[in-house]
Amino acid sequence: MKRMAIVIRDDGYDRLYTPLTFAYVAAKAVKIDRQHAAEEDWFKDRLRRDGDPLAIHDFIKLVKRTGNVQFYGCQLAAATFDVTESQLIPEADGIVDSLWFLEEKAIKADRCQYF
């Protein structure tokens, strides 16, 4: 697989971990959702045990360092929430139009996953 597009719609810790793991493997502190809050310590212990980053931003930096991953913000979501490119994390590659993302990234990808 040469290309994978991942669309992430939820910023919950437990919802980000899987797609970021997929991105990291393919490329070589947000609170856990309330329904899983009791599992937070257990989950973080497992991450520590495995040497994985605990903070989502640290995980994003790890994935970005592979040089094979780009992070884009959605132009529509950015407009809705008044977010500008200058407010993005340094690892972000910008804010893009949804149609551009679909045509240039998602359709051309070998796999496209939605979270």
- Where along the chain do its domains lie? 4-114
Token look-up 């980000």 returns 16
- Structure pTM? 0.66
Domain 4-114 sits in which CATH superfamily?
Answer: DsrEFH-like (3.40.1260.10)
**Which tens digits make up the pLDDT trace of 40-66?**
788 788 888 988 888 888 988 988 998
**Which tens digits make up the pLDDT trace of 68-104?**
889 999 998 899 889 999 999 999 999 999 999 989 9
